[in-house]
Amino acid sequence: MTGPVFDHHETTRLDIQRPDITLLNAAANLPAATLHEAAGKIGVLPYEIKPVAPGFRICGPAVTVHSPGGDNLWLHRAIYSAQQGDVLVVSVSEAYEHGYWGEIMSTAAKARGLAGLVINGCVRDQRLLSEIGFPVFARGLCIRGTGKDFGARGWINAPTRFDDVTVNSGDLIVGDEDGVVCIPRERIAEVITASEAREAAEAQQMKRLEAGESTLSIFGWDQ
């Protein structure tokens, strides 16, 4: 290690507010798309971010990470700043094409009991990530290595921007095969209630469709 060292404690917050566990348990049963729609069509993270293996699903409070591009030291720090059940939500300063995460970090995060990783960048070791079973949602795969600049400034649990969505620590993150949604912490309860009502209504609509009705008649579009 050479050169100046940035004190990462200056930009790391540990005292974040998390949703109640009963809300998290309820959200775990809801699709990301339903939560997005029920919240008023908000909170969609970049569509390029997808699960790196089939069956991966994420649900938990956000621990946000803003990392310097091409560097994954702040991701290592975030693993040990987060608590059991947290989801790391990582911005990489638009330097997407590096393998920021792999089997070592997935193993460490799984051992810590974290709920998953959402990164607006690439990862590597796809087969091993699938075998480890720690849910990883990423922009893609890339083998290009990263550095560890101890003088570089990053942030943990600061508001972090993903296109038009700002993710705050403690927000609800849900990801499935369709994508990832962020629900602001103060709206989680109302959005879950609306999502459950939406799911119940859709179940009834599907029964009516199976019985022969049309989408046009069910939704009043047959004018």
Residue found under tokens 């939704």: 219
- Distance between CA atoms of 201 and 209, rounded to whole angstroms? 12
102 is in an annotated binding site: yes
* Backbone conformation region of residue 143, classed left if phi is above 0, alpha if psi is from -120 to 50, else beta: alpha
Contact present, 126 and 141 (Cβ < 8 Å): yes
25 C-beta neighbours (distance < 10 Å), count: 11
**Secondary structure (3-state) at 11:** helix
125 is in an annotated binding site: yes
The stretches of the chain forming alpha helices (DSSP H) are 21-27, 32-38, 73-81, 103-112, 126-132, 188-210, 215-218
104 is in an annotated binding site: yes
105 is in an annotated binding site: yes
Beta bridge partners of 116: 87
Half-sphere exposure of 194 toward its Cβ, with a 13 Å CA cutoff? 15
Annotated binding site for substrate: 102-105
Binding residues for Mg(2+): 124-125
Write out the binding residues: 102-105, 124-125
